[in-house]
Chains A and B, each alone.
Chain A
Amino acid sequence: MSEQEGISMIMVNTEEVPGRTITKTLGVVSGSTVRAKHVGKDIGAFFKNIGGGELKAYTELLGESRDQAVQRMLEEAVGRGANAVVNVRIATSAITPGASEILAYGTAVVVE
């Protein structure tokens, strides 16, 4: 899913880009986003939870938020003149009822 509408560049969660050599590192870049779903979806999830199972509304919400967090991270990397981001990590935290924060961070590098 690294081919978002916006920026598309090499992004991996390994320490090096397989098959390429890193010539320069440009420091840690990060992007975060906080999102919430509207009450209707929350009520829907409440009823879905009676029997248990996948809550599609939340799955979608978090997938979109991750894409956005990654996109922001890539924007910062482009701003620093990088052409790849390595060692990407993603963290999630529930900061307040009904909303969660997604943080994506990695190392911006220049590869051959």
Chain B
Amino acid sequence: MEVWQIFLFVSLLFAAFGIAWALFSPFAFIYSALFSRRNHSKMLDELRQRIEVTVDRYGRDPLTNKKSPTFGEDVSEAMYVQANYVVGPGWWNQFIGGWHTLIGGKIDSYDDILTIARQNCLQSLREQAAEGGYDEVINVRLETARLSALSNQKNQNKFIEIFAYGTAVKYS
């Protein structure tokens, strides 16, 4: 009596999850298809405004990937700065990306999400430099890594991490 009740309960629970998933996933996909593109371009616009504000404050872009300081050798202080950003591409992008492996061509929507991540990292470096009163960030490097989530083989490596680091310097 006891054992089959537990068995029944567990199987009902699994069935409930299955039904909930079957109802939920199409809606989630439609939501992703309709709104993800728009959300991403909105994020991109906000980011561009933030970048403009910082660049205006400096009068130039403080980031460079040159190895040595641009304005002479008189440096009073140097500090390591870093920033990272993890993005999920979204279901719609993953779907479109999957199709494009068949027909080829460029994938604009993936471009957007990667631009958001990269520019966010770089902007974070600019802001850290501005906060500490540094004049320039030299030797900026960007790195991309793929994160694997806890999931099956098919969905692995869908999250993308962007990491930027550099050396902030202060001229004396």
- B58, CB-defined interface residue at 8 Å: no
Mark each residue of chain B from 13 to 46: 1 if its CB lies under 8 Å from any CB of chain A, else 0.
0000000000000001101100110011001000
Residue with the greatest number of chain A CB neighbours at <10 A, chosen from B35, B117, B166, B167: B167
CB within 8 Å for A94 and B148 given contacts A52-B40, A62-B86: yes
- Which residues, 29 to 72 on A, are CB-close (under 8 Å) to B? 39, 42, 45-46, 48-55, 58-59, 62-63, 66
**The residue from A14, A48, A92 contacting B167, defined by CB atoms under 8 A apart:** A14
Residues in B neighbouring A42, C-beta threshold 8 A: 149-150
- B62, CB-defined interface residue at 8 Å: no
CB within 8 Å for A50 and B90 given contacts A1-B80, A19-B78, A92-B145: yes
Residues in B neighbouring A51, C-beta threshold 8 A: 31-32, 35-36, 39, 90-91
A52 and B92 contacting across the interface, CB-CB below 8 Å? yes
- B84, CB-defined interface residue at 8 Å: yes
A92 and B161 contacting across the interface, CB-CB below 8 Å? yes
**The residue from B69, B86, B88 contacting A18, defined by CB atoms under 8 A apart:** B69
Residues in B neighbouring A66, C-beta threshold 8 A: 82, 84, 163
- Which residues, 138 to 172 on B, are CB-close (under 8 Å) to A? 138-139, 141, 143, 145-151, 156-159, 161, 163, 165-167, 169, 172
**The residue from A12, A39, A52 contacting B113, defined by CB atoms under 8 A apart:** A52
Q: What bracket does the count of chain B residues touching chain A fall in? A: 35 or more
A1 and B88 contacting across the interface, CB-CB below 8 Å? no
- A90, CB-defined interface residue at 8 Å: yes
In Å, the complex CA distance between A1 and B79 comes to 8
In Å, the complex CA distance between A60 and B40 comes to 21
Residue with the greatest number of chain A CB neighbours at <10 A, chosen from B35, B80, B89, B158: B80
- B2, CB-defined interface residue at 8 Å: no
- A23, CB-defined interface residue at 8 Å: no
- B106, CB-defined interface residue at 8 Å: no
A18 and B75 contacting across the interface, CB-CB below 8 Å? yes
A19 and B73 contacting across the interface, CB-CB below 8 Å? yes
- A17, CB-defined interface residue at 8 Å: yes
- Which residues, 64 to 105 on B, are CB-close (under 8 Å) to A? 67-69, 73-82, 84-93
- A98, CB-defined interface residue at 8 Å: yes
In Å, the complex CA distance between A42 and B89 comes to 15
Nearest-CB residue, chain A, relative to B67: A14
* New A-B contacts (9) at CB < 8 Å, excluding given A50-B31, A52-B92: A14-B167, A18-B68, A39-B150, A49-B88, A50-B29, A52-B39, A54-B85, A55-B88, A62-B161
Task: List residues of chain A with CB under 8 Å of any chain B CB.
Answer: 1-2, 10-15, 17-19, 39, 42, 45-46, 48-55, 58-59, 62-63, 66, 88, 90-94, 96-98, 100
